[in-house]
Amino acid sequence: MAVHGPAMTDVARLAGVSHQTVSRVLNGHPNVREQTRLRVRAAIAELGYRPNGAARALVTGRSQVIGVVAQNTTLYGPASLLAALEQTAAEEGFAVSVGSVRNLDHRSISAAVERHLSHRVAGIVVIAPVESAGEALERLPKDVPLVTVDGDPSRPVPLVTVDQVAGARAATQHLLDAGHRTVWHVSGPTDWFDSVGRIDGWRQALLAAGLDPPPPMPGDWSAASGYRCGQMLARMPEVTAVFTANDHLALGVLRALHEFGRRVPHEISVVGFDDVPEAAYFIPPLTTVRPDFDAVARASLQMLLSQIESGTGGALRQTIAPALVVRESVAPPRR
């Protein structure tokens, strides 16, 4: 014999309200007194009641699923964003369906969006940190609730992003404030908006201090490319400070400097970006910039829900400020 869980009528009976009131609480209706809302929530928790997603979709006229399009990658930033989106959506009563693509180009993004639309998702979030995604996003159907994360700021699509420029400026300024006469930069790939923003912020900080920026050293986000750049930097006696576009690049730089006998931070100071969980355990513990991925996820979901509720889009923009995390990899230069 099948065992059924508690029904909405059971919640209503325990809370002492009608089943219509329970439904209004579940659907976030504003015309419910706070005391009543708390009583209903307490009854739901006590009974372990779980709303029927299909029935709720019929009542609200919308799905309770958010579609996410993301590149299939293990890079810390995109992976952290995806995890934060899933957690935030769950807190708002939504499930997340992820469409992973090998490449963020027009064909792949369009196909992933079509798959989501065929499953009648409520709206779509695209994590689009590379140039190749831009054209695809502009050509998507205009009536689809859509938000891009870390996308192209020059495109007329709703966007939530970390303030890459401000984070890079803070990292570079921290090194200048320690007394370094210039700061070298190991960048990420130039087709990534994150990388371009971090180059811009680094360059702005140096120009504002009246300094000519040295040529950036291109990397590919990996510790291996950081190691190769670090081997070159280690041979340059004039280098006293390095800002890397992510923490894995910093890890490679630190390894190369160690092998060449260039002590960090006594001879060369290093600052990264991302604050990966291991950054506090590098030797020395890495000063870095921490993006607030949870805040990006919350802002993205709220922007998407606003579109879903209003039925309108709009070229909205929201940037989330990162934070400088000071550890032990920066010191004044030797005189």
What integer best gives the mean pLDDT of the chain?
88
Answer whether residue 1 shows pLDDT above 50: no
Answer whether residue 94 shows pLDDT above 80: yes
Cis peptide bond N-terminal to 285, omega within 30: no
For the chain, percent of residues with pLDDT exceeding 70: 92
Q: What is the pLDDT of residue 252?
A: 98
Per-residue pLDDT tens for 156-170? 788 999 999 999 999
Answer whether residue 2 shows pLDDT above 60: no
Answer whether residue 255 shows pLDDT above 90: yes
Q: What is the pLDDT of residue 28?
A: 67
What is the token pair recorded at 103?
């490449």
3-state secondary structure 104-141: CCHHHHHHHHHHHHHCCCCEEEEECCEHHHHHHHHCCC
Residues 6+ apart with CB under 8 A from 34: none
Q: What is the pLDDT of residue 167?
A: 98
Q: Domains of the chain (ranges plus CATH)?
A: 6-50 (1.10.260.40), 63-160+291-319 (3.40.50.2300), 162-289 (3.40.50.2300)
pLDDT average, residue stretch 28-36: 79
**Residue 188 vs residue 310, higher pLDDT:** 188
The torsion angles phi and psi of 255, rounded to 5 degrees, stand at -65, -45
Per-residue pLDDT tens for 38-70? 898 888 888 877 665 444 443 445 578 999 999
pLDDT average, residue stretch 297-301: 93
Per-residue pLDDT tens for 205-215? 999 999 999 99
> What's the pLDDT band for 27 if we cut at 50, 70, 90?
low
pLDDT average, residue stretch 93-103: 88
